[in-house]
Chains A and B, each alone.
Chain A
Amino acid sequence: MSSEYIALASDRILVTGSNGFIGTRVVEILLGYGYRNIRCFVRPSSRLDRLEKVLSQFDAGKDVALVTGDLLSPTDCRKAAEGVSVIYHLAAGMEKSFAGAFMNSALATRNLMDAFLRFAKPKRFVNVSSFAVYSNLALKRGALLDENCPLEDAPQERFDAYGFGKLKQEELVKEYGEVHNLPYVILRPGYVFGPGKRELNGRVGTSAFGLFVQVSGTQSLPLTYVDNCAEAIVLAGFKAGIDSEILNVVDDELLTGQQFLKAYKDKTKSFISVRIPYVVGYTMSLLWEKYCQRSKNQLPPAFNRRRCSAEWKGNRYSNQKLKERLGWKPRVPMERAMEAFLSQFTSNGNDDPLKR
Chain B
Amino acid sequence: MLKIAIVGCGKVADQHVAAIHRIPECEIVSVCDWEPLMAKQLGQRFGIAGCFSDLKEMLEAVSPDIVHITTPPRSHYSLAKQCLESGSHVYLEKPFTVTASETESLIQLAQRRGLKITAGHNYLFTLEMLEMRRLVEKGFLGGRPIHLESYWSYDLGDLRYASAFLGNRNHWVRQLPGQLFHNIISHGIGKLAEFLDDELTEIIATAHQSEQLRSLGAQEVLDELRVMIRDNRGTTAFFCFSTQIRGLNQLRVYGPSGSVTADIITGSLVRNKSRSYKSYLTYFVPPLKSAHEYFRNARVNVANFLTRRLYQDFGMKELIERFYNSVRTGSPLPIPYREIILTARIMDEIFVQIYPGRSEMPEIGHQESGQAATVAVSSVA
A45 with B168, Cβ < 8 A, contacts A97-B11, A295-B308, A298-B311 known: yes
B10 touches A43 (CB 8 A): no
A107 touches B37 (CB 8 A): yes
Q: Give the residues from 34 to 87 in chain B that come closer than 8 angstroms, CB to CB, to chain A.
A: 35, 37-38, 41-42, 45
B38 touches A100 (CB 8 A): no
Please indicate the chain B residues that have their CB under 8 angstroms from the CB of A46 in the complex: 167
Please indicate the chain A residues that have their CB under 8 angstroms from the CB of B14 in the complex: 97-99
A95 with B41, Cβ < 8 A, contacts A43-B167, A100-B11, A295-B308 known: no
B22 touches A99 (CB 8 A): no
Q: Mark interface residues in B1-29 (1 if CB within 8 Å of A CB, else 0).
A: 00000000111011000100110000000
B164 touches A45 (CB 8 A): yes
Question: How would you classify the secondary structure of chain B's contact residues: helix, strand, loop or mixed?
Answer: helix
B346 on the interface (CB 8 Å rule)?
no
A298 touches B308 (CB 8 A): yes
The answer for the CA separation of A300 and B305 in the assembled complex, in Å, is 14
Q: Give the residues from 255 to 313 in chain A that come closer than 8 angstroms, CB to CB, to chain B.
A: 295-298, 300
B167 touches A99 (CB 8 A): no
The answer for the CA separation of A156 and B35 in the assembled complex, in Å, is 21
A-B contact count (CB 8 A): 58
B290 on the interface (CB 8 Å rule)?
no
A206 to chain B, nearest CB (A): 20
The answer for the CA separation of A44 and B310 in the assembled complex, in Å, is 40
A326 on the interface (CB 8 Å rule)?
no
B308 touches A98 (CB 8 A): no
Q: Give the residues from 211 to 226 in chain A that come closer than 8 angstroms, CB to CB, to chain B.
A: none
Please indicate the chain B residues that have their CB under 8 angstroms from the CB of A296 in the complex: 21-22, 308, 311
Question: Chain B: which residue is nearest A154 at the CB level?
Answer: B45
Question: Chain A: which residue is nearest B164 at the CB level?
Answer: A45
B18 to chain A, nearest CB (A): 7
Question: Chain A: which residue is nearest B317 at the CB level?
Answer: A296
Q: Mark interface residues in B302-321 (1 if CB within 8 Å of A CB, else 0).
A: 00010010111000000000
The answer for the CA separation of A1 and B375 in the assembled complex, in Å, is 75
The answer for the CA separation of A224 and B56 in the assembled complex, in Å, is 50
The answer for the CA separation of A297 and B160 in the assembled complex, in Å, is 26
A267 to chain B, nearest CB (A): 27
B42 touches A99 (CB 8 A): yes
A107 touches B35 (CB 8 A): yes
B222 on the interface (CB 8 Å rule)?
no
A297 touches B35 (CB 8 A): no
Please indicate the chain B residues that have their CB under 8 angstroms from the CB of A100 in the complex: 10-11
Interface size on A, residues (CB 8 A): 24
B168 touches A44 (CB 8 A): yes
A98 with B311, Cβ < 8 A, contacts A43-B167, A45-B168, A107-B38 known: no
Q: Give the residues from 39 to 60 in chain A that come closer than 8 angstroms, CB to CB, to chain B.
A: 43-46
A90 to chain B, nearest CB (A): 17
**Which of A70, A97, A102, A156 has the most C-beta atoms of chain B within 10 angstroms of its own C-beta?**
A102
Please indicate the chain A residues that have their CB under 8 angstroms from the CB of B325 in the complex: none
A103 on the interface (CB 8 Å rule)?
yes
Q: Give the residues from 343 to 369 in chain B that come closer than 8 angstroms, CB to CB, to chain A.
A: none
Contact for B38 among A70, A95, A99, A295, CB less than 8 A: A99
Question: Chain A: which residue is nearest B45 at the CB level?
Answer: A156
A99 touches B13 (CB 8 A): yes
A356 to chain B, nearest CB (A): 12
B6 to chain A, nearest CB (A): 12
The answer for the CA separation of A98 and B12 in the assembled complex, in Å, is 10
A321 on the interface (CB 8 Å rule)?
no
B378 on the interface (CB 8 Å rule)?
no
The answer for the CA separation of A295 and B312 in the assembled complex, in Å, is 12
The answer for the CA separation of A217 and B347 in the assembled complex, in Å, is 54
A95 with B160, Cβ < 8 A, contacts A45-B167, A106-B41, A107-B37 known: yes
B166 on the interface (CB 8 Å rule)?
yes
The answer for the CA separation of A168 and B166 in the assembled complex, in Å, is 29
The answer for the CA separation of A329 and B164 in the assembled complex, in Å, is 38
Contact for A110 among B37, B42, B163, B308, CB less than 8 A: B37
B170 to chain A, nearest CB (A): 9
**8 more A-B contacts (CB under 8 A) besides A46-B167, A97-B14?**
A45-B168, A95-B11, A102-B41, A106-B37, A106-B41, A164-B45, A298-B305, A298-B311
Can you offer 28 A-B residue contacts whose CB atoms are under 8 A? A43-B164, A43-B167, A43-B168, A45-B163, A45-B166, A45-B167, A45-B168, A97-B14, A98-B41, A98-B45, A99-B9, A99-B10, A99-B11, A99-B41, A102-B41, A103-B10, A106-B37, A107-B35, A107-B37, A107-B38, A156-B45, A168-B41, A295-B308, A296-B308, A296-B311, A298-B305, A298-B308, A298-B310
- 7 nearest interchain CB pairs? A45-B167, A45-B163, A97-B11, A298-B311, A44-B167, A44-B168, A99-B11
